[in-house]
Structure 1
């Protein structure tokens, strides 16, 4: 696997990486304006950062995604650990025994899988996440089905049309879905086009959809639309979201569950 370059970044390039890490997505236009340089200079920076696996290049900008090799699966597991554990614990109380459950990629869905395997019986687990297969495959409490397709290096996600078509073979009781970003208008966003194909198939094939996202997802941007909060039945998060998000949940009968003891 290609490894990240050892070249030292200049200050502007490091600032670009930091901005992308914070916001999820950066554009050539805004970066050029911010750093007071030409669009061509920013494009060269983004190409360099993409070639050396700091960012992933896309039309008009670049994004900081979980699949980029410099963001390891282990490092993402260490982010917001307590918050993810609280979300996973709460979600596991919603799922009854003897249910069919589909879980997509993400460290929070993996935490949910650990909880379900430890506390539930008679589950049928469907997933495009090889890490979840490894968590659940040896349990006597569940049956595991895994999607086929292209495996993304770094986080063991199975992506693309083959994986999406596999999901379409099932009608599933509960979907437990992680997301990369939530826009202020309630749009659900992801970084990888092949990822969204699977997520959209999950939405379509599930009787009840549970969205799980820690508060960090409210501060990020991503280029691809997977759906909307209006598609969701239950939204579990660690902190109270914005008034606008709360209003969207109420107007669409989305059950908003906040795991923080303070609810804020």
Structure 2
């Protein structure tokens, strides 16, 4: 339970940025670090945040953050990441874009591309790219996940296996320090695995908040990713593993 207006605002900042720090909040609210630490402890005890060294992050668990909150989280960083990814996608490419707010940002960054063929299991992406006359859009049918417009299940996977994509652009819910790409929905993970298998190259788009989160289901290893687009250098040991695997890291 949020006890005061300051705690409510702290929670709003965390939902927007993915994490908060004691120093940042002390300056913002012009109050002591001790007071902020108590606020963060109260929010953590109420389940709204998870305490980490120097601050707090949104809690992880066995279910994802609601789509509306995810769509607001690190919105500017996602747009920058998406533009960097789109710059590496040539006109005339065939793509798959999967479920997620980061891949939706990539779709927006592709609105001026030409002669693209995009297959997606994300109805939001299909709607975004419908505004681009130079883009052929195909929707991989399946079971509708009403919470975020995603399509999942065996039918989706069967359609994906009919293609060989130049590039798969995928998002995720969390990145483990051992290099595993993680998500919450087992059906969605099965679709993502098929996407990677059917692509010549795989691009992962994920902002820094994914370094602090966990999720229960493994999609794949980052060793299978050709390029990783993010807004902060991955912390070790993940960063060291990516360098060893030769995964290109593009930071914005």
TM-score, length basis structure 1 = 0.74
Match of 1:144 in 2: 137
1:24 matched to 2:18: no
Match of 1:15 in 2: 46
Question: How many residue pairs end up in the alignment?
Answer: 206
Q: Point out the more displaced range, 133-142 or 154-163.
A: 133-142
1:114 matched to 2:108: yes
Of 129, 133, 137 in structure 1, the residue corresponding to residue 126 of structure 2 is: 133
Q: Do 2:180 and 2:220's aligned partners in 1 also have CA atoms closer than 8 Å?
A: yes
5 Å-filtered alignment, 1:133-212, equals 133-212=126-205
CA separation of 1:140 and 1:224: change in aligned 2, threshold 3 A: same
1:169-219 deviation line (CA, Å, top 9, x unaligned): 100001110000000100110000011010000000000000110000011
- 2:210 partner SS: helix
**Any gaps of 5 or more consecutive residues in structure 1?**
1-10, 26-62, 260-264
Q: Distance in 2 between matches of 1:161 and 1:219?
A: 31
1:216 matched to 2:209: yes
RMSD: 1.9
Match of 1:86 in 2: 80
Shift of 1:243: 2.4
Match of 1:65 in 2: 64
Q: Do 1:128 and 1:158's aligned partners in 2 also have CA atoms closer than 8 Å?
A: yes
Shift of 1:17: 4.9
**Any gaps of 5 or more consecutive residues in structure 2?**
1-41, 52-56
Q: Do 2:43 and 2:49's aligned partners in 1 also have CA atoms closer than 8 Å?
A: no
